[in-house]
Structure 1
């Protein structure tokens, strides 16, 4: 046994705070092929994604420009409000448990 190989842990960057973290620690926002923008708690939906820390401070920093740039489409303030509501529901359901 020469040495065990370490498993690769994918890293992603939070679009709000620019902090790099393991992919599983972040919440994915996805623009689906149909053009809908949704929170993707499992990280498996098809489409262009952007990642945010689960901290409320990062969700407060999220603005139209950052999300529009990451998803390569126009995002309105009303869509961001809907995403924040969906994320808040996820946090309530998880009640401190990991999202995945």
Structure 2
């Protein structure tokens, strides 16, 4: 049987390619609201960031999503992103790669 193709996406902060399941999608909708999209199915312009707290903090420091989506993203969103990434990173350490 032929091996399944693993979808790859580019991390917007580091520029590295990772399997899609190792990243979280951030979406800007038509109204300009930026949100996390853990299901990767929300409508809108998406960008990916790896599940690493250091990368999420770097995104906040450099205001990466402000530049990518050409919209003013509040600090509260970056704090929410860091908390989400931290939680997902802890889950992976506890339960292994699922």
Paired positions, count: 91
RMSD, matched Cα: 2.4
The Cα offsets for residues 61-99 of structure 1, whole Å up to 9 and x where unpaired, read as: 1122x323433x2234xx2x222322204644784148x
- Residues 42/91 of structure 1: CA separation in 2 closer, same or farther (3 Å cut): farther
Q: What is the TM-score with the length of structure 2 in the denominator?
A: 0.75
Which structure 1 segments of 5+ residues have no match? none
Q: What is the TM-score with the length of structure 1 in the denominator?
A: 0.73
Which of 44, 48, 62 lines up with 1:47 in the alignment?
44
Give 1 or 2 for the bigger CA radius of gyration: 1
Which of 55, 66, 69 lines up with 1:68 in the alignment?
66
Which structure 2 segments of 5+ residues have no match? none
- After TM superposition, the runs of 4+ consecutive aligned structure 1 residues lying more than 4 A away are none
Which of 82, 86, 96 lines up with 2:91 in the alignment?
96
2:51, 2:89 within 8 Å by CA — same for their partners in 1?
no
